[in-house]
């Protein structure tokens, strides 16, 4: 018993006692390591989309090749960079034709280039540094809505200026009087071809990027819009196409604004913007749109009586009841999709009334991160 106590006392004397400073250093190192790990988890990272990166590279390559070819053979690239079918002897008057496809291709590639640059080098850095949006998906959604806001603001401003200066400003009868309208100004022709390119580019983006819950509704909407835009351009119904486009664009400006406010965390401002958007949606996409739809079906044939197809007479463009019906069916299909979206919007409205916040019910589930 005495010997065991002696051995214990010897061991305790031999074993080094932990120093208080060493214990403090260990604790400090642990705390610093824990803080670094927490900071690393919370630190937002800029997301990079491969689609946007490849889009930037391919579109840049297109314009570089176009420039290089123009140095050697300018006539080979002229159709890609200038409007075609100018009426001889007239200062600013253009017809339409198959060679307008070249400008549409240039506009599509230009939109892809500007969009990818804006998303990767402007909007995503803003989402990261200004609003501290952390997740890849939320950064991507914020950037997409920022692009939509920028483009639709530009296209609506451009289109409304042309509408204000037009003879059919607030006068639907002049949309059809003196048809066919085969003499387009350069600014109007460029506007219409740019809008055509925009919708074709949106179909491309829709099928390349990650799909959302309403993919097929969006796809059907874009296909119908492209058919209407292409068909109205070919048949010189560009005036009614112009009116519908500006009605659609201003609503998209408000929708993109509301979504961006949501991603930035401004829930109250988002709710107010959503309310403004809802008013414009109903007024323009249902009331005004359906009035134009009704006017086209009931009054357009009478206002265009001189342009109806006649047997054994060579006419530049003419219409038949079947052609009118096709356009009316497409316009009706567009309204059906709009009504489906209206039902989804009503769900958001009910959620706000019950005390929730405005969220895009058309987006995927992770969109609210």
Least confident of 151-160, 228-237, 340-349: 340-349
Rounded CA separation 137/107 (Å): 28
| 138 Cβ neighbours under 8 A, 6+ residues apart | 127, 263, 367, 369
Question: Which is more confident, 74 or 7?
Answer: 74
Q: What are the two backbone dihedrals, phi and then psi, of residue 311, each rounded to the nearest 5 degrees?
A: -70, 140
| CA distance readout (Å), 75 to 66, 255, 330 | 11, 43, 39
Contacts of 118-124 spanning 24+ positions with Cβ under 8 A: 118/143, 118/146, 118/147, 118/150, 119/49, 119/52, 119/143, 119/144, 119/146, 119/147, 120/48, 120/49, 120/52, 120/53, 120/56, 122/146, 123/147, 124/46, 124/47, 124/48
* Terminal Cα distance for the chain, rounded: 69
> Taking a C-beta distance cutoff of 8 angstroms, is the pair 143, 123 a contact?
yes
Q: By mean pLDDT, which of 86-90, 129-133, 221-225, 356-360 is the weakest?
A: 356-360
C-alpha–C-alpha distance, residues 156 and 254, integer Å: 12
Four-residue CA torsion sign, 205, 207, 209, 212: positive
Q: Summarize pLDDT for 292-347 with one digit per residue, the tens.
A: 999 999 999 999 999 999 988 888 999 999 999 999 999 999 999 999 999 999 98
Does 2 score more than 90 pLDDT?
no
Per-chain mean pLDDT for the chain: 87
Find out whether 228 and 240 touch, Cβ atoms under 8 Å: no
Q: Contact 222/202 with Cβ under 8 angstroms?
A: yes
Cα–Cα distance measured from residue 329 to residue 324, given in angstroms and rounded to the nearest whole number: 9
Q: How many CB atoms lie within 10 A of CB 108?
A: 20
pLDDT band with cut points at 50, 70 and 90 for residue 10: very low
Please give the pLDDT value at position 213. 81
Q: What is the mean pLDDT of residues 13-41?
A: 52
pLDDT tens for 42-77 read 444 544 578 888 889 999 999 999 999 999 999 999
Four-residue CA torsion sign, 146, 148, 150, 153: negative
């Amino acid at each position: 018993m005495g010997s065991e106590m002696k051995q214990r006392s010897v061991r305790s004397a031999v074993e080094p006692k932990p120093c208080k400073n060493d214990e403090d250093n260990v604790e400090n190192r642990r705390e610093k390591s824990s803080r670094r790990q927490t900071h690393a988890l919370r630190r937002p990272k800029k997301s990079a989309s491969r689609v946007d990166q490849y889009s930037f590279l391919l579109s840049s390559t297109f314009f570089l090749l176009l420039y290089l070819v123009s140095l050697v053979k300018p006539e080979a690239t002229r159709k890609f960079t200038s409007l075609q079918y100018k009426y001889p002897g007239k200062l600013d008057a253009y017809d339409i034709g198959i060679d307008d496809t070249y400008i549409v291709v240039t506009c599509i590639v230009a939109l892809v280039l500007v969009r990818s640059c804006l998303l990767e080098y402007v909007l995503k850095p803003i989402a990261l540094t200004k609003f501290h949006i952390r997740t890849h998906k939320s950064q991507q959604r914020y950037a997409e809505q920022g692009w939509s806001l920028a483009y639709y603001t530009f296209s609506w401003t451009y289109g409304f200026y042309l509408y204000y200066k037009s003879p059919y400003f607030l006068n639907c009868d002049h949309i059809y009087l003196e048809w066919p309208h085969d003499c387009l100004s350069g600014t109007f022709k460029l506007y219409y071809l740019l809008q055509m390119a925009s919708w074709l580019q949106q179909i491309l983006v829709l099928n390349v990027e990650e799909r959302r819950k309403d993919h097929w509704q969006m796809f059907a909407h874009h296909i119908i819009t492209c058919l209407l835009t292409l068909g109205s351009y070919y048949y010189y119904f560009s005036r009614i196409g112009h009116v519908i486009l500006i009605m659609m664009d201003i609503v998209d400006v408000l929708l993109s604004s509301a979504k961006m406010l949501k991603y930035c965390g401004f829930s109250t401002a988002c709710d107010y913007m959503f309310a403004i958007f809802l008013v414009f949606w109903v007024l323009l996409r249902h009331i005004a749109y359906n009035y134009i739809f009704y006017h086209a079906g009931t009054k357009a044939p009478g206002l265009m009586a001189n342009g109806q197809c006649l047997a054994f007479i060579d006419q530049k463009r003419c219409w038949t009841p079947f052609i009118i019906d096709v356009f009316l069916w497409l316009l009706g299909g567009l309204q059906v999709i709009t009504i489906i979206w209206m039902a989804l919007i009503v769900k958001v409205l009910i959620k706000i009334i019950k005390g929730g916040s405005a969220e895009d019910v058309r987006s995927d589930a992770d969109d609210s991160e």
